[in-house]
Structure 1
């Protein structure tokens, strides 16, 4: 039995037990990041680093006299167990793959590697779908993964490893692995879109398919080709407007500037913005980024790039 002088007072014991509880609860809160299917790579990295540190701090507190037997300790241990379980869960491995796939897709996009962009985006989406399916919420009828999801997770991790997206994967092969025909088709469509957009922004007249349109006066949020500018003026002149009110905005379509593409849900709520620096890139984003099932877009020049 330890000497009486080494035994903690009741107040000191409560204080250390409360510290343990606070550490454990904080670890559990951080672990919720790893259950969020939309968690970012930074969020996953933060949680993956902080939870082990919290576990180490908790273990040190548990070695203090009397803390392991305190009445609040079982609650703290349940939080720690949940956090540790989430850290090692298969769904967390999928979140790491999703974050890596997003970064790899961005790098592939910079080099116009359309096949890798398409494949990595699909891997990311499938990972996040399975992370969402892993949630256990009996009240909502959600009971986590079935054997089907577990098999899908294993297959997805194998696919990610072949593409170099896992920590234990080999270096990415110069020749990509074979892919299903529909992914090859998507990559071809993406390459075709880039070729179309090389001419610039598409005319916003619904019936016009011309690219290389310019920002115009009078018509709000409109980009028109030369033929549609003439047609718009022909239509407006008989209505009593000033002669030829629709004209190109001087310097309104800089080859290098700050473009903002706003992608919005055409049949509901929701929007996101993407910034870029050329009209070609702006139109390419507008045609290839689809955050909603029915995505509309507008393109704005925020500011020309200063010389």
Structure 2
């Protein structure tokens, strides 16, 4: 299709391949489970005609046909000061185009809201809660605070551009839409960013990746970086909350977090438990992490 300069046909052919991925995601998701799709739209000039190809709209259309429930999406704003970000005819009207400095994070759910019925399920959900100030940032519809562009791989035997995204994007989504002990599936495993985020949040993860070189990179990352990355992430969350407590003052907080011993804003934060990683064991295609049984307490 591209050889014929038929952009719409090429666009549709690509998405028919991706449709199979979303079909499988719908099949394996638990009732009430979420799918989060980070996708940017694309632009292309074919036969002298500049056009936007709305990937997010095409994916959303197919997911709704499958039966997913559409939820408010996130716009990840990736502002750049690069002088070449403007497209088209410069300062002349009727030929210049607005910049494309954002990506979408589509959020969809399989079926109705997830139920947490047993005492164990409720306890894990409470341990997995996020801080008041995290909620305010994470559940805003536009994310301005995560910088970084998609990573370029500096190896000849790897795709020129990987699908890797900043760790913080994956970590937020894992914390927002799953609880401890859940299994997070990434059908585009890439360099293993989602798995690192899952480890930091005490979730299990499964990666699927067709490129053996990227698979090796992901495996090495889990073995070499996961404990340090996870512990740094946990410590940053704790430090940020302690700083928030200092900034707001004691009168702002009504409750006490029991595991860590610091003030929190709401009752739902009382049982947040962030445990550090202490050990890793590896098998052929599996890496298992052990978490500390005790946590530092401010009391």
Tell me the TM-score range normalised by the shorter chain.
Answer: under 0.3
Find the structure with the greater CA-based Rg: 1
Structure 2 length normalisation: TM-score?
Answer: 0.23
The higher-RCO structure (CA 8 Å, 6+ apart) is: 2
Higher relative helix content: 1
Higher relative strand content: 2
Structure 1 length normalisation: TM-score?
Answer: 0.23
